């Protein structure tokens, strides 16, 4: 969502980042959701990465309501809506995570559950302690909870083993799926392998950044070429045990279409 908005020329400046578009360009947010649904996405993530009271102030509930409604309105009949819960500070600066983040995460998790999300996605956490706090807050709502950790766009914030250990703690807290995200696709496989080893019995997944680490996220690459390259990596993740595959920074509906065509359920025969 964030880089998709940027490609449209829509500002995504802090502290709201992509959530600022809920105020200024809601139709474009809806249209992006619809493009991903049409491409074959089975899960649409709400644009609530920064709709906490800490970042948005008194309007945070209204932004959440808008975000969930836009995702739900664009979702295809078979698609689920995942409420996004992100780090309270910069996801690439885990040292900025607050000492007691759980009340903030619980507040957002409860609101997303009230608004009718199908599941909660605690995503892009590089701080294991904050990831666990968010996971516990999400699980407490009773909704299925997925937890995704990140080693960052340089793949240096967490080692595969450290990421997997944090994921295992989230599973112990009740998470039903664990993933790695916001990591260059070229560096994602070792993290999937570590997750599969550390977390048997739960779903494992990955949604990575397009491009190579040296070009940050690579969203300047031709989208069809990038989608084909991304699919090559995704096949390796599936071979390593991943059953949840998606896209993070720099990926596009073309990426999801390639994944859905190659890895999705085969079409049912017509009657």
Q: What pLDDT does 212 receive?
A: 52
DSSP string, 120-179: EEEEEE--HHHHHHHHHHHHTTTS-EEEEE--TTTT-SS-HHHHHHHHHHHHHTT-SEEE
Q: What are the angstrom distances between the C-alpha of 2 and each of 29, 133, 222, 249, 257? A: 10, 24, 18, 7, 19
Q: What pLDDT does 4 receive?
A: 92
Q: What pLDDT does 226 receive?
A: 83
CA–CA distance, 47 with 20 (Å, rounded to integer): 9
Evaluated on CA atoms 114, 41, 122, 142, the torsion sign reads: positive
Domains in the chain, CATH or no CATH each: 2-260 (3.20.20.330)
Beta strands 80-85 and 203-209, pairing class:
unpaired
Is residue 215 classed as helix, strand or coil in its secondary structure?
helix
**pTM, whole model, 2 decimals?**
0.94
pLDDT in tens, the chain (271 residues): 999 999 899 999 889 999 999 999 999 999 999 999 999 999 999 999 999 999 999 999 999 999 999 999 999 888 999 999 999 999 999 999 999 999 999 999 999 999 999 999 999 999 999 999 999 999 999 999 999 999 998 999 999 999 999 999 999 999 999 999 999 999 999 999 999 999 999 999 999 998 654 454 444 567 778 899 999 999 999 999 999 999 999 999 999 999 999 998 754 544 4
């Amino acid at each position: 969502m964030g880089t998709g908005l940027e490609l449209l020329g829509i500002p995504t400046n802090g502290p709201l980042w992509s959530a600022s578009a809920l105020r200024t360009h809601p139709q474009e947010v809806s249209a992006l959701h619809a493009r991903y649904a049409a491409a074959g996405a089975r899960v649409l993530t709400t644009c609530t990465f920064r709709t906490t009271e800490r970042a948005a102030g008194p309007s945070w509930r209204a932004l959440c309501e808008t975000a969930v409604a836009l995702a739900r309105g664009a979702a295809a009949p078979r698609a689920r809506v995942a409420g996004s819960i992100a780090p309270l500070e910069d996801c690439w600066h885990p040292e900025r995570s607050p000492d007691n983040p759980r009340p903030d995460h619980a507040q957002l998790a409860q609101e997303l559950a009230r608004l009718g999300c199908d599941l909660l996605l605690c995503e892009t956490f590089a701080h294991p302690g904050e990831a666990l706090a968010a996971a516990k807050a999400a699980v407490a709502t009773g909704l299925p909870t997925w937890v995704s950790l990140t080693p960052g766009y340089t793949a240096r914030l967490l080692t595969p083993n450290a990421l997997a250990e944090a994921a295992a703690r989230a599973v112990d807290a009740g998470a039903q799926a664990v993933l790695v995200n916001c990591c260059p696709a070229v560096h994602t496989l070792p993290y999937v392998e570590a997750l599969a080893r550390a977390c048997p019995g739960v779903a494992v997944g990955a949604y990575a950044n397009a491009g190579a680490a040296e070009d940050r996220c690579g969203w300047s690459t031709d989208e069809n070429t990038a989608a084909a390259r991304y699919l090559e990596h995704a096949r390796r993740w599936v071979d390593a045990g991943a059953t949840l595959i998606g896209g993070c920074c720099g990926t596009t509906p073309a990426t999801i279409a390639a994944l859905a065509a190659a890895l999705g359920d085969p079409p049912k025969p017509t009657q």
